[in-house]
A and B are shown apart, each in its own frame.
Chain A
Amino acid sequence: MTETAIRISDLSKSYRIKHEAGNRATNLGEAISNKIRNPFEKATHEEFWALQGIDLEINKGDVVGVIGRNGAGKSTLLKVLSRITEPTTGKVELFGRIGSLLEVGTGFHPELTGRENIYLNGAILGMRRPEITRQFDAIVDFAGVEKFLDTPVKRYSSGMYVRLAFAVAAHLNPEILIVDEVLAVGDAEFQKKCLGKMQDVAESGRTVLFVSHNMAAVQALCNSAVLLRRGAVEFTGDVATAIDKYSGDSKELGAAVSRQSPFGKARVIEKLIPARNRFPARTPILIDVHLSTHDPSSRCHFSLHVYNNYRENVITISSEHLDTGQIASNVESFSIQIDSPILLPGIYDIDAFLYSGGIIDHWPSAARFEVTDSVGVNGYNASSQTGCKMCLSDFSFSDLKVAQCLNAV
């Protein structure tokens, strides 16, 4: 029988959101004057439940991926588990020493030397001094900063800084480790090293809770997963199913209806409509693009990026690679055809970019389609494959329609 490492029972956490911005006291004077003016009035506030009735049991040695959309409660759960914030109701029982890593380099001080920061950061992460001394050489070796140990870290390159920070954290040795999205640091080579280190931790029989938006990393590291949605547990079990549910739960297929405004700039890409939302592999993909009038002096390029479930870029096409060249500012709509790419079954997101010198408009997840079934290609069974494949395909822009009237030039 396996032993329990973490038992969470009926765990909830609520935050109070105060209403009526006018009445909210942000300094002591306001707080006091509000109290004097309305001594019996209680502040109106709404309870926001970041976590709601979570019940979970995690066994020793499990490496569990915690996934969910932004605001699903992942970070709150980790904060409660690592005792940073208290739950509102419920109970967590931890069977073993816990260490948490919600951020790389917490408490690093720029004025202190590398050596001093190793001891400081180690102590902050809960390591005892002799423990750090014992691991000191390994940490320095892992980070590769021998030469700069007595240099203040403010003079480090950002890469060195992050490497040193991760190295200290990687040598933390708790029985239960909680990790929040910290692998997305450093260059590709160092990331590989980090993933390797995480794998070692996972294989050493320790219990790991790993929060990430990087589904490929979750897939590679975890042996089970928890999907959170609006503060509740939506699914627990094997990783592949959880990732499927996670991708499916996020949005409808087809063109996105609403969109966020891109950093205060006017949006230019108005609609991105795939001709079909659901189709088998090796089918041409047809997409209609509508633009609103933009800066009439600029001629720009348009690019599409197709991402799979794991948020890996599988197709990138751009008008830059075509002989037809740039898109004039008076173009109102055009169609793009991507000829029969061999895509694996799954749900794909399309990001759209309009750019000339810099980005004019960027629309993440402008549309979404699903590839339904795999087609054997020369005996190659696509459905048994997972992970990243860059997909190559011919493509063309056509039907460039020019707007009838333009802003006066």
Chain B
Amino acid sequence: MSTIPNDLRYAASHEWVRPEGDGVFTIGITEHAQDLLGDMVFVDLPDVGDQVNAGDDVAVAESVKAASDVYTPITGEVLAVNEELEDSPELVNSDPYGDGWLFKIKADDVAEVDELLDAEGYAASIEDDE
């Protein structure tokens, strides 16, 4: 059973969202997702300043097994990307909720996050997958 922190929100497509205040949200992929993908070899991130809509595929997590699209669960502007992943994509495996974060979004509408799954909802959704 993988870890699903209670203080985060989730998309059924396996992204997590952490509110950082001031309408800023950090986004990454869940421990469950990295476990499915296996060792990460490249992470293709959006450009800082990109305007993105919830549900857009904005990043690619490429592992030894497969290339997987990452969708932004939040509409807004890309404020920052995790440049560490350029040289150390394995951070997504070793610390998916911490150093392995992917990008930060300045939300157009902070209420959007309330529509996402909570930890319990996400846990239920991955059980349905199995």
A-B interaction:
no
